[in-house]
Structure 1
Amino acid sequence: MKKIFLFTALAAALIAGLAQANEKLVVAATAVPHAEILELVKPELAKEGVDLEIKVFTDYVQPNVQVAEKRLDANYFQTKPYLDGFNKGKGTNLVTVIGVHVEPFGGYSKKWKTLADLPDGATVAIPNEGSNAGRALLLLQTNGLLKLKDPTNALSTPKDIVENPKHLQFKELESALLPRVLDQVDLDLINTNYALDAKLNPVKDALIIEGKDSPYVNYLVARPDNQNSDAIQKLAKALTSPEVKAFIEKKYDGAVLPAF
C-alpha cells in the first residue's frame, strides 16, 4: 500500500510539475478575425509549453494600454501606422513583433449602389482614431471623392481635405460603433474586423475597398522587454505557419489576406 501511495504521489507531482512548466501568455485581440486565428494556434502552443489565454476587446485603446501597463503580455489587432500614432499620442513604447494578415478596408452603403449615386452633401461615417481616420480618407481620395493636403499622410483628418467636390459631410465615430450607423449614413467606412463581426462580406458588400497591395498589415505587438521572449516568439512562429495561412485563405475568402 505504501508503494502504491508513493507511486501515486510521485505521478501527481510529476503531472503538477509539467503543468507548472507551461508558461502562461495573455494576449488581447478583437473578436474577428484576430481571436479566431489565436484560437486556431492555441492547441499547438500548448504542446510547446505555452498556455495561451485570449482576452477579447471591442475597442482599440485598452489592448494597448494594458500591454503597456504589463497587465497583458501582447496584443494582436492593429496596423503599424495605428501603433505609431498611439505610441506618439500616449507616450508608450510598444513594438511590432511580426505581421500576420491584411484586412482590406472598405466603404459600405445601404442607400446607394455606386459612388456615382452619392448625392451632394452625402454623410460619410469614418473612424475617429488616428491612422484609421487617415486610412479612410486615403481610400476616399483613391476613389476620387476628395483630395488631401498631403496625399500620402496616413494620419490625415477631415481638416486636411483641400478638395471636396461632393461637399461630403463627415461623421467621426469610434470604429466599433461604425456598423451600427450603416442605415443612418450614405457611406460608412468600416474596419474589416468590425465589418465581419457585423456579418458584412467585404468582398461582396463593400462599395469601395482597398486593393490586395494594402500596406496596412495587422501585427502581433508586445513590449521591448518581452518581444524576444520564448513564449512570444513561439506565438509569432505559430501565427505565420502554413496552417494559419490556409485557415485565413479558406475561412475569410479574400476578406482577410495572409501577409506572409
Structure 2
Amino acid sequence: MKKWTATSLLVLTTTALAACGSGDDSASTTEEAESLVSDGVLTVGVTGGPHEQLVERVAELAEEQDLDFTIEAEVFTDYVMPNVALAEGDIDLNSFQTEPFFEEMKESRDLDLVRVGDTVTFPMGIYSLDVTDVSELEEGARIGLPSDPTNSGRALALFEEAGLLKVEEGVGLQATVMDIAENENNYEFIELDSAQIARQLNELDAAAINTNFAIEAGFTPAEDAIFIEPKDSPFVNLVASRAENQDDEAIDQFLELYHSEEVKQFIEEEFSGSLIPSW
C-alpha cells in the first residue's frame, strides 16, 4: 500500500466571545486557530492519472500567481484511503470521486466530510483487447466490473445501456450483480477492485473501467472504449474537505484556480474529449 505522510493541519476559526458586565465593565476575547495552510502547503489527495495531472496544473497556476501557499498532490492507489486520510487530517482536500461514491463512503464510515466544489466528469467506458464492438462479445464472455457499491451500480447501468443485460426495475445505482434480471448471452460478470481491472483486462473479454484508471493504463477513452457513457453522465467528480474547514480561504483560492480558463484549456488539449469540465 502506498505510504503517505501524516501532517496535522488545523482550520482558521475565529470565535468572538462577549463577556457581559455592569456599567463600563466589559471584555471580549478572540480565539484564533491556525490556518488550513499554516505550514504554507495545501495538500490535495488524488488518484494517479488525470486527477493528479489536474491538481499539478492548478499547483503551477498557484506558483504563477505567487499565492501565500503552495499546492501539492498526494497520490493514492485506491478509492478508500483518500477519504480516510482527509477525515483524519493527514491531507487538506481530496479530488478523485463522484458524489454517489462520496455519499456512500461518508455514510458507511461515518466521515465528517463535505463537498466544496465540482471538477470534471470521467465517462466510464467498456474496454476490450479482443473485440471492437460490444455486439461482438460471444456467449459466456467474461466481463469485469468494479466491486465497490457505487461503481458496480454505475457499471451495470452502462452494461444495460450497451444492451448486454437488464437490471431489475427500480434498483437504480444500488444495483449489484444479484439484481441482473436478464442475461440472454449468459455473460459471466466478475467483480474486481477498480484500480486493478485495467491490469487484468487480458484475462477478460471486456470490462467496465473508470476513465482515470483507463488513461493510466494507456487507453484514450474517447478512442479506445468500445462503449462509453454519454456526455450528460451525472457522475460529476468533486472536491471534498473536512466540514470544519469548508469556509477556509485557501479552499476558495484552490477552486478559483481549478475553475479557471487555463485549466479548462489544459483539459481540452491534454485529454482529447475523454474528460469533460463540469463547473
TM-score by shorter chain over 0.5: yes
Question: Structure 2: which 5+ residue stretches go unaligned?
Answer: 1-36
Task: Give the whole-Å Cα distance in 2 for the aligned partners of 1:169 and 1:151.
Answer: 23
What is the aligned-residue RMSD (CA, Å)?
1.5
Relative distance call for 1:236 and 1:30 in structure 2 (3 A) is: same
| 1:216 is the counterpart of 2:216 | no
| 1:131 is the counterpart of 2:150 | yes
Task: Give the whole-Å Cα distance in 2 for the aligned partners of 1:123 and 1:137.
Answer: 14
- Structure (1 or 2) with the greater helix fraction: 1
Task: Give the whole-Å Cα distance in 2 for the aligned partners of 1:217 and 1:40.
Answer: 19
The aligned residue for residue 30 of structure 1 is 47
The aligned residue for residue 129 of structure 2 is 110
Task: Give the whole-Å Cα distance in 1 for the aligned partners of 2:115 and 2:47.
Answer: 17
Question: Structure 1: which 5+ residue stretches go unaligned?
Answer: 1-19
Among the aligned pairs, what percent are the same residue?
37
The aligned residue for residue 166 of structure 1 is 185
Task: Give the whole-Å Cα distance in 2 for the aligned partners of 1:35 and 1:109.
Answer: 25
Q: CA deviation at 1:155?
A: 2.5
Deviation digits for residues 185-212 of structure 1 (CA, Å, limit 9, x no counterpart): 1111110001000110111110110011
Structure with larger RCO (C-alpha < 8 A, sep 6+): 1
* Letter aligned with residue 88 of structure 2: E
| Farther off after superposition, 121-130 or 43-52 | 43-52
Deviation digits for residues 6-36 of structure 1 (CA, Å, limit 9, x no counterpart): xxxxxxxxxxxxxx97732111001211111
Deviation digits for residues 39-73 of structure 1 (CA, Å, limit 9, x no counterpart): 11113324121221211111101000010111111
Task: Give the whole-Å Cα distance in 1 for the aligned partners of 2:195 and 2:115.
Answer: 23
* Letter aligned with residue 165 of structure 1: E
Deviation digits for residues 120-164 of structure 1 (CA, Å, limit 9, x no counterpart): 111110011121111110000111111112456222110111111
* Partner SS state of residue 56, structure 2: helix
| 1:142 is the counterpart of 2:165 | no
TM-score of the pair, normalised by structure 1: 0.89
**How do residues 1-260 of structure 1 correspond to structure 2 at under 5 angstroms?**
23-46=40-63, 47-150=66-169, 153-260=172-279
The aligned residue for residue 12 of structure 1 is none
* Partner SS state of residue 160, structure 2: helix
* Partner SS state of residue 172, structure 2: coil
Q: Would you identify which runs of 4 or more consecutive aligned residues in structure 1 move more than 3 Å?
A: 20-23
Q: Matched residue pairs, number?
A: 241
TM-score of the pair, normalised by structure 2: 0.83
* Letter aligned with residue 41 of structure 1: V
Relative distance call for 1:156 and 1:45 in structure 2 (3 A) is: same
* Letter aligned with residue 198 of structure 1: A
Q: CA deviation at 1:181?
A: 1.1
Whether the aligned pair in 2 keeps the contact of 1:22 and 1:49 (CA below 8 Å) is no
* Partner SS state of residue 208, structure 2: strand
